[in-house]
Structure 1
Amino acid sequence: MGEAVDASPRTPLSRDRVLRAAVARADEAGIDALSMRKLAQELGVVPMALYKHVANKEELLDGMIDVVVAEIDPPAAGADWKTAIRERILHARKVLLRHPWASQVIESRVTPTPAVLRYMDSMIGAFRRGGLSLDLTHHAMHALGSRLWGFSQEVYNTPGAGPADPEVQAVMLGEMRARYPYVTELATAVSHDDASIVGGGCDDQFEFEFALDILLDGFDRLHQRT
Structure 2
Amino acid sequence: MAPRNGASALTRPRIVDAAVALADEEGLRAVSMRRLAAQLGVEAMSIYHHVPNKAAILDAMTDRVFEGFHLPSTDGDWRVELHARADSIRTTLLRHRWGLELVDSRRSPGRATLAHHDAVIGCLRNAGCSLALTAHAFALLDAHHFGFVAQELRLPFEDGEALDPLAADIDANVPLAEFPHFAEFVTGVALRPGYAFGDEYGWGVELLLDELERRRAAEAPSTVAERDGTAP
Partner Cα separation in structure 1 for residue 108 and residue 185 of structure 2: 38
| Residue aligning to 1:207 | 200
Q: Are the aligned partners of 1:96 and 1:102 in contact in 2 as well (CA < 8 Å)? A: yes
2:77 paired residue among 59, 71, 80: 80
Q: Are the aligned partners of 1:92 and 1:150 in contact in 2 as well (CA < 8 Å)? A: no
| AA partner of residue 113 (structure 1) | P
Structure 2 residue 63 is matched with structure 1 residue 62: no
| Residue aligning to 2:188 | 189
Check 1:126–1:77 CA distance in 2 against 1; reply closer, same or farther (3 A cut). closer
Q: Are the aligned partners of 2:68 and 2:88 in contact in 1 as well (CA < 8 Å)? A: no
Partner Cα separation in structure 1 for residue 204 and residue 166 of structure 2: 34
Deviates more, 1:207-216 or 1:155-164: 155-164
Q: What is the CA-CA distance between 1:12 and the residue it aligns to?
A: 2.5
Q: What is the CA-CA distance between 1:181 and the residue it aligns to?
A: 3.7
TM-score between the two structures when normalised by the length of structure 2: 0.75
1:129 paired residue among 120, 126, 129: 126
Q: What is the CA-CA distance between 1:49 and the residue it aligns to?
A: 1.9
Unaligned runs of 5+ in 2: 158-162, 220-232
Unaligned runs of 5+ in 1: 1-7, 195-199
Q: What is the CA-CA distance between 1:172 and the residue it aligns to?
A: 2.6
Which structure has the highest helix share of the two? 2
Partner Cα separation in structure 1 for residue 152 and residue 14 of structure 2: 38
| AA partner of residue 187 (structure 2) | T
Q: Secondary structure at the match of 2:9?
A: coil
1:124-163 correspondence runs (5 A): 124-147=121-144, 152-154=149-151, 157-159=154-156
Partner Cα separation in structure 1 for residue 62 and residue 170 of structure 2: 43
Q: Are the aligned partners of 2:7 and 2:42 in contact in 1 as well (CA < 8 Å)? A: no
| Residue aligning to 1:111 | 107
Q: Over residues 2-57 of structure 1, what are the superposed CA-to-partner deviations in whole Å (9 max), with x where a residue is unaligned? A: xxxxxx98642222211111112222332233222111011111112222323332
| AA partner of residue 107 (structure 2) | T
Deviates more, 1:30-39 or 1:210-219: 30-39
Deviates more, 1:68-77 or 1:39-48: 68-77
Partner Cα separation in structure 1 for residue 123 and residue 196 of structure 2: 31
Q: Secondary structure at the match of 1:215?
A: helix
Partner Cα separation in structure 1 for residue 148 and residue 167 of structure 2: 35
| Residue aligning to 2:86 | 89
1:36-55 correspondence runs (5 A): 36-55=33-52
Q: Secondary structure at the match of 1:85?
A: helix
| AA partner of residue 188 (structure 1) | T
Q: Are the aligned partners of 2:19 and 2:61 in contact in 1 as well (CA < 8 Å)? A: yes
Q: Are the aligned partners of 1:73 and 1:91 in contact in 2 as well (CA < 8 Å)? A: yes
Partner Cα separation in structure 1 for residue 123 and residue 167 of structure 2: 54
C-alpha RMSD of the superposition = 3.2
TM-score between the two structures when normalised by the length of structure 1: 0.77
Q: Secondary structure at the match of 2:189?
A: helix
| Residue aligning to 2:29 | 32
Q: Are the aligned partners of 1:127 and 1:137 in contact in 2 as well (CA < 8 Å)? A: yes
Q: What is the CA-CA distance between 1:80 and the residue it aligns to?
A: 1.4
| Residue aligning to 1:102 | 99
